[in-house]
Structure 1
Amino acid sequence: MNTKQKLGINTICTYVGEIKDDQFKGAISPIYMSTSYQFDNVDVKRYPRYFNTPNQEALCKKIAALEKTEAGLLFGSGMAAISTSLLAFLQKGNHVVLQETLYGGTYNFVVEEFDKFGIEYSFTNSLAIEDFEKEIQQNTRVIFIETPSNPLLKVVDIKSVASLAKQHGIITMIDNTFASPINQTPVDFGIDIMIHSATKYMGGHSDILAGAVAASEEHIQRIWNLAKNLGGSLSDFTVWMLERSLKTMNLRVKRQSKNALKMAKYLERNEHIARVYYPGLKSHTNYELAKSQMKYFGGMLSFELQEEIDAMTFQRNLKLIKPSMSLAGVESTVLSPTQTSHALLSPEERAKQGIKDGLIRFSVGIEETKDLIQDIEQALQKTIQ
């Protein structure tokens, strides 16, 4: 498939990067599970740890096409993608600026590991561009952002961050997991490197673990140079499953985004809910900014229960919505960030980010919203009795 031809998003999801089954003429890509390939008299010396098996190479073309970049790279997890990308551009004596609110795994990786490598880091005091500029030092090499953020759905001005970085010759990286390439393509705003936990919306069925990076050929080569030594590759069966999942990503994410907006509006009206965090609500601090850089507002939201309602009891009383780790599956799930995604942070660190015990992160699925609302209503009634 000619990826230079301007294709529609569903066509990209379905066809770009597929492997033709020339032998049996099957309708889907064949899977190549070999871990040993011929090295003599071949165009490519393939080795799974080198990220160049047939299925990996093919799927990387789809990832790149979705993010509008030259190249892509797949990893065994989102954290493998994040850690390898950061370490590929940072070394002893370098400095990185990170936004104030980040996925707990990313935050924990930085504060636990960077000192060992002699890498300096700063977190901004807010998401205002002035605070990013204030943290830049002479040795700053990377600015890392995540928008919408996990779990409070804060929105960063992508274009302003990219412009600021370019003025200083700094590489920009974004965790684009929550938005997905369906809702947001950061390269359009000048970001250099897009990172995903492909476990989430790219996978979408709560059955695979993977990570992905999309960037220029030059940047991907630099990340690959480190990746081959760290060994964060993944099984070709997972690659094949991920290709299958990506075919329906646009359909899934659009439905999840539509459902999430309906659920956010319902929760905002509910007397038992103290606050709702969703960039698609006009009450959201960054609503206008989100509207300017997102196609849809995503399937993720968070809400705080009124203080007298116990968050864990409420979740146990749900019958349809699953209290479950991770996110972005076709099924709706909830979790308490203090118990899961941000449990590695200290209570003081969570408080600084605004993450309270009563906060619930809600990954909205593809179900009928009337059924989700009914489930929340019955769970609330049981909890407050």
Structure 2
Amino acid sequence: MAAITRLHEATLQLRAGPVVVFGAVFHSTYHLFEESEGGIRHYGRANDADVDDFEKYLEEGGKCAYVFTEFPSNPILVSVNLERLRRLADKYHFFLVVDDTCASFANIDLLGVADVIITSLTKAFSGYADVMAGSLVLNPNRTLSYAPLKQTISSRFHNELFEADAAHLLANSESYLARCVIHNRNATALASYFHSLSLDAASPVAQVHYPPHSPGSNYLAPFLRKPTAEYPAPGYGYLLSVEFGTVEQAAAFYDAVNFFQGPHIGAHLTISMPYNMMVYGKDDPEVHAAYGLKPQQIRITVGLEDQEVLLQRCAEALSKMEKTT
């Protein structure tokens, strides 16, 4: 949030207008934009129709300070058409800011499209939930945005990162790529398991939100990094959401599943949370449900446990859930 706030303050010195947001974003990010002078213009579904509407808004003279999107978004892994937004940014001269925290920059490379890439280093980069940091990367390949953003941010910059935190973050990051391989493998295994259940009309699992099963996955896939000897299996990251038929079923699964519970993501241990219910349950829940953040979804962020252990725990939770609902 510090990185997002500092960028937001700098950007509004250069351009007027609302922040245009595509897809779900972290609730504190949403409130920052909502409370800023230009306000927020939110396209929650982040689908082609939303981009069509945004393009029409621009053609009719609508203002935009910058576009902000999580790619893919937390908690339902929706991905907008970034390449199309890049073309609109070039035509109408706004900044394109992308938060890659959920997939993590080990897996995706956004320097071909984004003016700015924001990442929470607290999550997979640290990986152990014991230090906080954030980063923003100004893309030197975007010559029209890089110089003014660099000058404005540099003029306001002062170091806010405690030295011991920096040292601890660096030490944690030594296993970053190795952990990301396990995160990708575990999340893919759980997503495949829940997706197979969702194909049965009698199953309490309605759907799973994780590529390739989440909207816009075809827009995300081209940004996957190529395999290398150091990182042989790029993937889609550690986060998925499981949607049940009813809130009662979701609650029963959450109570039964043998995972840690809490809001953190990208750690070494698997954590579950009824994210939408807890974050948006009293904050216009119908508005957020309309673009996909439904209360009957349970968010799971996988850790480094054995894949078979995670699958077994989910199967056991479903068995207990079916006996109580």
TM-score by length of 2: 0.83
1:167 maps onto 2:91 in alignment:
yes
1:86 maps onto 2:8 in alignment:
yes
Change (3 A) 1:125 1:380: closer
C-alpha distance in 2, partners of 1:131/1:262? 36
Match of 1:276 in 2: 208
C-alpha distance in 1, partners of 2:45/2:248? 30
SS in 1 for 2:283: coil
8 Å contact 1:108–1:344 — kept in the other structure?
A: no
Aligned counterpart in structure 2 of residue 359 of structure 1, from 278, 289, 297: 297
Match of 1:56 in 2: none
Change (3 A) 1:153 1:306: same
SS in 2 for 1:182: coil
**RMSD of aligned residue pairs (Cα, Å):** 2.2
Change (3 A) 1:353 1:225: farther
Q: Which amino acid is 1:167 matched to?
A: K
C-alpha distance in 1, partners of 2:269/2:212? 21
Match of 1:266 in 2: 193
1:294 maps onto 2:224 in alignment:
yes
Match of 1:314 in 2: 253
Q: Deviations over 1:165-198 (max 9, x none)?
A: 011111111111111111112112x211011111
CA positional deviation for 1:341: 4.3
8 Å contact 2:16–2:65 — kept in the other structure?
A: no
Change (3 A) 1:344 1:240: farther
Aligned counterpart in structure 1 of residue 308 of structure 2, from 351, 370, 375: 370
Identity percentage of aligned residues: 25
Change (3 A) 1:226 1:343: farther
SS in 2 for 1:240: helix
Q: Deviations over 1:316-336 (max 9, x none)?
A: 3222x2122110112111111
1:154-303 aligned within 5 A: 154-188=78-112, 190-215=113-138, 216=140, 218=147, 219-228=149-158, 233-270=160-197, 271-281=203-213, 284-295=214-225, 296-303=235-242
Q: Deviations over 1:126-147 (max 9, x none)?
A: 4223233234345422111111
CA positional deviation for 1:110: 1.5
C-alpha distance in 1, partners of 2:43/2:164? 40
TM-score by length of 1: 0.71
Match of 1:102 in 2: 25
SS in 2 for 1:180: coil
8 Å contact 2:184–2:237 — kept in the other structure?
A: yes
8 Å contact 2:186–2:302 — kept in the other structure?
A: yes
Q: Which amino acid is 2:42 matched to?
A: F
Q: Which amino acid is 2:206 matched to?
A: A
Q: Which amino acid is 2:9 matched to?
A: L
Aligned counterpart in structure 1 of residue 285 of structure 2, from 331, 342, 347: 347
Q: Which amino acid is 1:240 matched to?
A: A
Q: Which amino acid is 2:294 matched to?
A: K
**95-104 or 372-381, which moves further after superposition?**
95-104
8 Å contact 1:273–1:304 — kept in the other structure?
A: yes
Runs of 4+ in 1 over 6 A off after TM superposition: none
C-alpha distance in 1, partners of 2:110/2:282? 29
CA positional deviation for 1:347: 1.6
CA positional deviation for 1:262: 1.1
Please tell me whether Structure 1 or Structure 2 has the larger radius of gyration of its CA atoms: 1
C-alpha distance in 2, partners of 1:312/1:376? 14
